[in-house]
Amino acid sequence: MFYELAISLSWPSKKAVAIILGIESSCDETSASVCIDGKVINNEIAGQDIHEQYGGVVPELASREHQRNIVPVVNHVLTHAGINVKDLDGIAYTRGPGLLGALLIGSSFAKAMASSLDIPLIPVHHMKAHVLAHFIDDPKPTYPFICLTVSGGHTQILRVNSPTEMNILGQTQDDAVGEAFDKAAKLLGLPYPGGPMIDKLSKEGDENKFSFAESEMPDLDYSFSGIKTSILYFLRKEVRKNENFIDENLNDLAASIQKVLISMLMDKLIKAAKQENINQIAIAGGVSANSGLRERLEQEAQKKGWDIFIPDFQYCTDNAGMIAISGHLLFQEQAFGKLTDSPLPRMPF
């Protein structure tokens, strides 16, 4: 009876000024943020170091840490923003994609809080939120724009027409580029997460020292499984000849691996911009924090006259700031959810 009553409530119409609480819990970061009138006030993230000893995220442990962190994190951002819970106009949360247990913690908390306050729930697609993170700070892109979204679980090229209309132009058909970075780092004996370590080491290396075979895919799609295999076989061959090969060439290996992965990303992005005849180009997702990718994007922008958009570092990895700004934009569209909405680990785009 309670659910039937809550679902039938009539929520407020479009408001010029809205206060939105954003909650992100898709993987191993518990994050909350407050957005007032389209301005992200704060962005609190509680990370989970417990996964380092396992070389990757353990879903059950992630869920437990979310349960431990979500109340203090939400309380902190509200207190820091000077917001009473009764001031909130809506609560945005990550519905998917992500780890089911992790998503359940965030969505259950958001539903309970929204129900008790009688305010709208705003379910947010995690990958679309990475794109909309470009609307947190100036300069902001204008529609339509092309966005390369790159993370540990996704690699996509999108044509973004509005906050609610994004078309996939190309995407990976197997592994994501973030996974390729992390698995290559593991082959080099680097700790998890390995992508940032490769980026750091590459600054002291020669990116032309070694070469690896790139995977070819039609149109604007990607494949990163082949490049991982190429790196694996290359290292096996060299280590048989010299067991200290990796240690002696670590910086050059990191730089060469980073170069080939960035080259694969940029080749398709250049094709997409030409195909769509759009010069507003953005990158988003955890891998958009990579310094090599940012430098290559800036180089191409100078050559081709692109206007480029790169989020601040804190909004590249998983964060609630992007959920809060998405909530603001979706609130204006009255794109509200229901208490019966279930988390979707494989939420379709």
What contacts 118, CB < 8 A, 6 or more positions away? 9
For 74, 94, 155, the CA distances from 86, given in Å and listed in that order, are 14, 22, 39
| Integer Cα distance of 245 and 85 in angstroms | 58
Which are the contacts of 256, defined by CB distance < 8 A and separation ≥ 6?
205, 206, 207, 208, 209, 210, 211, 212
Q: Before 120, cis peptide (omega within 30)?
A: no
For residues 349 and 334, give the distance between their C-alpha atoms in angstroms, rounded to a whole number.
19
Residue 195 annotated as part of some ligand binding site? yes
Please tell me the predicted confidence (pLDDT) of residue 5.
30
Dmax of the chain from CA atoms?
71
5 CA to centre of own chain: 35
Q: Tell me the DSSP string of 104-146.
A: HHHHHHHHHHHHHHT--EEEEEHHHHHHHGGGSSSS---SSEE
Domain ranges of the chain: 2-133+317-332, 141-310
DSSP character string of 36-52:
ETTEEEEEEEE--GGGG
CATH number for 141-310 (one of 3.30.420.40, 1.10.260.40, 3.40.50.720, 3.30.70.100): it is 3.30.420.40
Check whether 318 is labelled as a binding-site residue: yes
**What distances in angstroms separate CA 103 from CA 50, 113, 131, 336, 341, one per listed residue?**
18, 15, 20, 18, 12
Minimal CA–CA distance to 62: which of 97, 89, 25, 95? Answer: 25
Reading the chain (349 residues) residue by residue, the pLDDT tens digits are: 223 333 334 444 555 579 999 999 998 889 999 999 999 999 998 865 554 655 666 777 878 888 999 999 999 999 999 999 999 999 999 999 999 999 999 999 999 999 999 999 999 999 999 999 999 999 999 999 999 999 878 899 999 999 999 999 999 999 899 999 999 999 999 988 889 999 999 999 999 999 998 888 889 999 999 999 999 999 999 999 999 999 999 999 999 999 999 999 999 999 999 999 999 999 999 999 999 999 999 999 999 999 999 999 999 989 999 999 999 999 999 999 999 999 999 999 8
Q: What is the DSSP letter of 1?
A: -
Are the C-beta atoms of 258 and 287 separated by less than 8 Å?
Answer: no
pLDDT of residue 346: 93
User: Is 126 annotated as contributing to ligand binding?
Assistant: yes
Closest CA to 329 of 176, 175, 143: 143
Is residue 199 a known part of a binding site? Answer: yes
Q: What is the CATH number of domain 2-133+317-332?
A: 3.30.420.40
Q: How far is CA 13 from CA 99, 327, 331, in A?
A: 33, 15, 9
Q: Which two tokens stand for residue 164?
A: 């609610």
- Residue 43 phi/psi, 5-degree rounding, is -155, 100
Question: Is 150 known to sit in a ligand binding site?
Answer: yes
Residue 305 is labelled as binding a ligand? no
Q: What pLDDT is stored for residue 48 in this prediction? A: 52
Question: 290: annotated binding-site residue?
Answer: yes
Q: Do the Cβ atoms of 315 and 322 come closer than 8 Å? A: yes
CB 6, CB 337: distance < 8 Å:
no
Q: In whole angstroms, what is the distance from residue 220 CA to residue 175 CA?
A: 15
**pLDDT tens digits along 99-156:** 999 999 999 999 999 999 999 999 999 999 999 999 999 999 999 999 999 987 889 9
> Which tens digits make up the pLDDT trace of 9-19?
444 455 557 99
Say how far apart CA 251 and CA 234 lie, in whole Å: 16
Matching fold, domains 2-133+317-332 and 141-310: yes
The verdict on whether residue 101 carries a ligand-binding annotation is no
The reported pLDDT for the residue numbered 52 is: 61
User: Nearest to residue 151, comparing CAs of 222, 257, 207?
Assistant: 222
* pLDDT score at 58: 73
DSSP secondary-structure letter at 168?
A: E
Q: Global pTM?
A: 0.89
